[in-house]
Amino acid sequence: MGHMFQKLSAALLLPVVILPVAAVYLAIGDQLGWVALRAAGQSLLVTYLPLLFAVGLALGFTGRDGMAALAGVIGYAVMASVATAIDPAVDSGVLGGMAMGGAAALLFHRFHRVRLPEYLGLFAGKRFVLVLSSLAGVLAGVFFGLTWPPIGRLIVGMGQWLYAAGALGAFVYGVFNRLLIPTGLHHILNNLIMYVAGGYADPVTGQLVHGEVPRFYARDPSAGYLLAGFYLTMVFAVPAICLAIAHEARPGERARVTGIMVTAALTSAITGITEPAEFAFMFLAPALFVVHALLTGAALWLTYVLGVRHFGMALPMFFINLGFADRAWLIFPLGAAFAAGYYLLFRYLIRRWDLPLMGRVPALPAAEAGDTAATAAPVLEALGGAGNVVSIDACLTRLRVELVDPGLVNAEALSALGASGLSRPGASLVQVVMGTSSAALCEDIKGLLTRTRPTVVLVAPLTGRLLPLSQVPDPVFSAGTVGPGVGIDPSEGRLLAPAPGRIEYVFPGGHALTMTTASGLELILHLGIDTVRLAGQGFTVRAGVGQAVKAGELLVEFDPKAVALAGFSPISVLIVANAGQTARVQAASPGPVRAGHDPVVRVSLKGGE
349 by Cβ neighbours in 10 Å (0-12 / 13-18 / 19+) ranks as middle
* Active-site pick, 109, 292, 310, 526: 526
For 428-451, give the secondary structure using H, E and C: CEEEEECHHHHHHHHHHHHHHHHH
Residue 68, C-beta contacts closer than 8 angstroms, at least 6 positions apart? 58, 59, 61, 62, 104, 105, 108, 112, 126, 129
Q: What is the torsion angle, in degrees rounded to the nearest 10, for the CA atoms of residue 467, residue 547, residue 15 and residue 274?
A: 160
Phi, psi torsion values for 200, nearest 5 degrees: -155, 135
Q: Residue 498's closest CA among 482, 519, 475, 529?
A: 519
Axis crossing angle, helix 126-164 with helix 66-86, rounded to the nearest 10: 50
Q: Determine the Cα–Cα distance for residues 590 and 78; give it in Å rounded to an integer.
A: 51
For residues 432-459, one letter each, b for 16 or more C-beta atoms within 10 angstroms of the residue's C-beta and e for the rest, the string is bbbbbbbbbbbebbbebbbeebeebebb
CB contact at 8 A, 362 and 397: yes
124 by Cβ neighbours in 10 Å (0-12 / 13-18 / 19+) ranks as middle
* Active-site pick, 109, 242, 395, 511: 395
Give the CA radius of gyration of the chain. 29
Q: Determine the Cα–Cα distance for residues 317 and 312; give it in Å rounded to an integer.
A: 5
For residues 359-376, one letter each, b for 16 or more C-beta atoms within 10 angstroms of the residue's C-beta and e for the rest, the string is bbbbbbeebbebebeebb
Q: What is the DSSP letter of 121?
A: G
Q: Determine the Cα–Cα distance for residues 374 and 588; give it in Å rounded to an integer.
A: 37
- Number of CB atoms found within 10 A of residue 14's CB: 17
Q: Residue 555's closest CA among 459, 486, 480?
A: 459
Residue 242 annotated to the active site: no
Q: Residue 65's closest CA among 402, 399, 391?
A: 391
Q: Determine the Cα–Cα distance for residues 176 and 185; give it in Å rounded to an integer.
A: 10
Residue 511 annotated to the active site: no
Sign of CA dihedral 84, 86, 88, 90: negative
Q: What angle do CA 511, 514, 515 make, to 5 degrees?
A: 135
CB contact at 8 A, 397 and 435: yes
CB contact at 8 A, 465 and 592: yes
- Number of CB atoms found within 10 A of residue 80's CB: 24
**DSSP characters for 294-352?**
HHHHHHHHHHHHTT-B---SSHHHHHHTGGG-BSGGGHHHHHHHHHHHHHHHHHHHHHH
Active centre residues (catalytic): 395, 526
